[in-house]
């Protein structure tokens, strides 16, 4: 190379022409993306060193030269099908088609379950629309451990580790979806069960106390699920006990964050069984003591004569209770015992009216005794004693309305005649001993 001026021509300095090839573009991947742009594409070909521009149609894109054969570029917004080109000092490449698709932004409607342990690992199901070609599922800013696009409306994903409540989103070529809430919950803990026993027939309600009980999905008594349960708060659940065989079981609570078991915490108790009541009858006024025999009587909470509670009762053993009979009306009633295991079968106890004396014949006799009195009245059939004053006398039962009593010797004067039966003591009638006339 030389320079010429009016003064002459300079010496020459060498200049070398280099052979720079025009870039060649062989593929663009992916070859389509949403009209809003933002798709990261990989351009493959040759001669990319020193690239000065990447265009999608006439619109420039941001890009990075990875090597002489590869460029990554971010598609700008556009529409239809455009030619992607690369420009270098050697020129502009051939064009490769890139199509802008009208892909809608994905929409999420739910995540189930909506909570899980902080350690992650929970399999969740995302439902919504426009989920095809999802490229990412995120829990907050953290990518899902893995995910599978089942359909345009369904994705299954494995939650990563995290804490608190985060928004789950799905990214597709159409953009990033709205967020749905997912909560990292702590493992539940059971601390108490009340009451801690109930009937083998189930149906009673128990209160479970603990921590982190929100989201409970199952409550089991041993291996049997609760008949039903309600989560009252993060620290309390009410559950209806199922039917089960007699014995002690553990109660387990399950949440998305894990399980908690309270060992040997609940007793299924057999219902009590009554086989006998002795004596079988008593007075209307009550107050007498009866003995109830049977089984599973320990823990009795009530003894009833019909609908009336016993005046008092004492559990002697698992097979015996003594009870003080309350007042009642004439006739039979059903006696039952109630425990946490339920209410027993009934046994019959009869309230009896006391004997009634309507007449004596004769009404007087000698002080020497040796005579008899005929008593007329009612309720004599169960008579256990006849008294003249305080003295019991022998008697013969003729019928429920008639009996004959022997009169022993005694001091002259009137005495009360009474008849005693299971229903009580009759009202007195007067019998008079008369001295023999003197000589």
Residue 40 pLDDT exceeds 60: yes
CATH of domain 273-352: 2.60.40.10
Residue-wise pLDDT tens digits, 151-181: 999 999 999 999 989 999 999 877 899 999 9
What is the per-residue pLDDT for 412? 95
CA distance 251 to 261: 6
Section 308-320 average pLDDT: 97
Architecture of the structural domain at 189-269: Sandwich (2.60)
24-101 and 189-269 agree in CATH topology:
yes
Question: What fold characterizes domain 107-184?
Answer: Immunoglobulin-like (2.60.40)
Mean pLDDT of the chain: 93
Question: Of all residues in the chain, what percent carry a pLDDT higher than 70?
Answer: 95
Q: Which residue has the higher pLDDT, 88 or 186?
A: 88
Domain 24-101 class, CATH top level? mainly beta
What is the per-residue pLDDT for 168? 97
Q: Which residue has the higher pLDDT, 439 or 96?
A: 96
What is the per-residue pLDDT for 101? 80
Domain boundaries along the sequence of the chain: 24-101, 107-184, 189-269, 273-352, 356-434
Range in 6-20, 251-265, 380-394 with the lowest mean pLDDT? 6-20
The token pair that represents 58 in the structure block:
């006439």
Helices (H) and strands (E) in the chain, counts: 0, 51
Beta strands in 152-270 (DSSP E): 154-158, 164-172, 175-176, 180-184, 189-194, 197-199, 205-211, 218-221, 224-225, 228-233, 236-240, 247-255, 258-269
Domain 356-434 class, CATH top level? mainly beta
């Amino acid at each position: 190379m030389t320079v010429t001026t009016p003064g002459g021509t300079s010496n020459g300095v060498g200049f070398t022409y280099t052979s720079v090839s025009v870039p060649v573009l062989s593929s663009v991947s992916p070859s389509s993306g949403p009209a809003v742009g933002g798709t990261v594409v990989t351009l493959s070909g040759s001669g990319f060193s020193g690239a000065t521009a990447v265009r999608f149609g006439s619109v420039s894109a941001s890009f990075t030269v990875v090597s002489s054969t590869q460029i990554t570029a971010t598609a700008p917004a556009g529409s239809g099908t455009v030619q992607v080109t690369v420009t270098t000092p050697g020129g502009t490449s051939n064009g490769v088609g890139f199509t802008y698709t009208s892909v809608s932004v994905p929409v999420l409607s739910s995540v189930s379950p909506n909570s899980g342990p902080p350690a992650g690992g929970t399999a969740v199901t995302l439902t919504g629309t426009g989920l095809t070609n999802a490229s990412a599922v995120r829990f907050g800013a953290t990518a899902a451990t893995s995910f599978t696009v089942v359909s345009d409306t369904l994705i299954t994903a494995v939650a990563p580790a995290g804490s608190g409540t985060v928004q789950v989103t799905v990214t597709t070529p159409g953009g990033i979806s709205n967020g749905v809430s997912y909560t990292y919950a702590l493992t539940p803990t059971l601390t108490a069960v009340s009451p801690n026993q109930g009937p083998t027939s189930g149906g009673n309600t128990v209160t479970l106390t603990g921590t982190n009980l929100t989201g409970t999905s199952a409550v089991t008594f041993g291996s049997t699920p609760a008949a039903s349960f309600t989560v009252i708060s993060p620290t309390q659940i009410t559950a209806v006990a199922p039917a089960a065989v007699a014995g002690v079981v553990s109660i387990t609570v399950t949440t998305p964050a894990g399980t908690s078991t309270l060992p040997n915490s609940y007793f299924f108790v057999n219902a009590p069984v009554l086989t006998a009541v002795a004596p079988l009858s008593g007075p209307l006024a009550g107050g007498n003591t009866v003995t109830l025999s049977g089984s599973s009587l320990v823990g009795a909470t009530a003894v009833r004569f019909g609908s009336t509670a016993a005046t008092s009762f004492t559990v002697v053993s698992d097979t015996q209770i003594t009870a003080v009979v309350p007042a009642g009306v004439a006739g039979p009633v059903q006696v039952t015992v109630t425990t946490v295991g339920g209410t027993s079968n009934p046994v019959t106890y009869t309230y009896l009216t006391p004997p009634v004396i309507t007449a004596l014949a004769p009404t007087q006799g000698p002080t020497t005794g040796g005579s008899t009195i005929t008593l007329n009245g009612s309720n004599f059939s169960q008579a256990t004693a006849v008294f003249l004053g305080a003295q019991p006398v022998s008697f013969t039962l003729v019928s429920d309305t008639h009996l004959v009593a022997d009169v022993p010797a005694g001091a002259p004067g009137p005495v009360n005649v009474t008849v005693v039966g299971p229903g009580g003591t009759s009202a007195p009638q007067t019998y008079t001993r008369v001295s023999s006339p003197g000589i």
